[in-house]
């Protein structure tokens, strides 16, 4: 039975869904980046230590998995270097909800969630809200797509 909340959630996500309604193109990069910068310049460690997106600095940057990662401090950069998979967003930083639907989409640092010690990003805050309604189910669906969806 459809509830009013489900219908409103679907309506809120509909405009964003149009942006990732197409399947991935062949040979997409493993890490989503804009101009080669992962997470649009946000420090991946800060999501865990500050509980918020914090823009990093090019002065504290390193290359990992073909993208440049920025950090707010040398300490955060060193934490990442010690265990990058612990801090890097799941699905290469692509939108977790889009992946659960079989598509790739960009993400923004403002639409983040840490769930079970892992960082997930989404296309927008509205999309994150819909994704958050069934995080475990959406993760299971996205896990089934990743990384083969990259082509």
Q: What is the pLDDT of residues 123-140, one digit of tens each?
A: 999 999 999 999 999 999
Q: What Rg value do the Cα atoms of the chain yield, rounded? A: 15
Q: What is the pLDDT of residues 73-128, one digit of tens each?
A: 999 999 999 999 999 999 999 999 999 999 999 999 999 999 999 999 999 999 99
Q: What is the pTM of this model?
A: 0.84
Using the structure block, give the residue that is written with the tokens 């040979």.
Answer: 27
Q: What are the extents of the domains in the chain?
A: 31-88, 89-146
How many CA atoms, within 13 angstroms, populate the side-chain half-sphere of residue 59? Answer: 5
Torsion of CA 81, 30, 114, 52, to 10 degrees: 70
């Amino acid at each position: 039975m459809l509830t009013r909340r489900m219908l409103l959630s679907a309506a809120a996500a509909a405009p964003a869904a149009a942006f990732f309604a197409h399947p991935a193109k062949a040979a997409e990069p493993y890490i989503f980046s804009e101009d080669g910068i992962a997470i649009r310049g946000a420090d991946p460690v800060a999501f865990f230590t500050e509980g918020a997106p914090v823009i990093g600095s090019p002065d504290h940057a390193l290359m990992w998995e073909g993208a440049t990662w920025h950090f707010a401090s040398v300490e955060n950069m060193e934490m990442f270097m010690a265990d990058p998979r612990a801090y890097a967003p799941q699905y290469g930083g692509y939108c977790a909800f889009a992946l659960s639907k079989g598509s790739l989409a960009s993400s923004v640092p403002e639409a983040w969630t840490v769930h079970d010690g892992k960082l997930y990003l989404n296309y927008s805050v509205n999309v994150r809200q819909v994704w958050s309604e069934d995080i475990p189910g959406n993760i299971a669906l996205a896990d089934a797509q990743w990384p083969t969806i990259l082509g």
